[in-house]
């Protein structure tokens, strides 16, 4: 996990982003108030969304790296209501790809 945090810190510096803080923690015990939560999706999307977007982060956005189960998990989360979900299929110039679920609480 330290490599990922280091990578994100390097990106913030290289892009000259201001007001960005990278925090490493484990939900639900160590999630600071923030605007965006980035998570590798070790839990199903409904559980991950509920943890990451709870309490002080109800207005935040979750970006979760997902795999083949994303369709089923999005359907399950959508059926529960209370969340808006967008699935992004991303590629980089080197040909790598990733599926990211972008989740926000609705209302």
- Tell me: the pLDDT tens digits for 6-51? 888 898 899 998 988 887 776 666 667 788 888 876 788 998 888 8
Distance CA 15, CA 105 (A): 28
Q: What is the pLDDT of residue 36?
A: 85
Q: Is the pLDDT of residue 55 over 90?
A: no
Mean pLDDT of 48-56: 83
- Tell me: the pLDDT tens digits for 81-96? 899 999 999 888 888 8
Whole-prediction pTM: 0.78
Query: Angle 45-52/70-80 helices, nearest 10 degrees?
Result: 60
Which positions ≥6 away from 92 have C-beta within 8 Å?
none
């Amino acid at each position: 996990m330290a490599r990922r945090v280091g990578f994100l810190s390097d990106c913030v510096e290289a892009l000259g982003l201001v007001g960005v803080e990278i925090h490493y923690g484990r939900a639900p015990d160590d999630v600071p108030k923030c605007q965006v939560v980035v998570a590798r999706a070790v839990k199903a999307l409904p559980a991950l969304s509920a943890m990451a977007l709870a309490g002080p982060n109800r207005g935040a956005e979750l970006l979760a790296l997902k795999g083949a189960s994303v369709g089923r998990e999005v359907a399950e989360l959508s059926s529960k209501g209370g969340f808006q979900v967008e699935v992004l299929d991303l590629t980089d110039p080197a040909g790598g790809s990733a599926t990211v679920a972008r989740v926000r609480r609705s209302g």
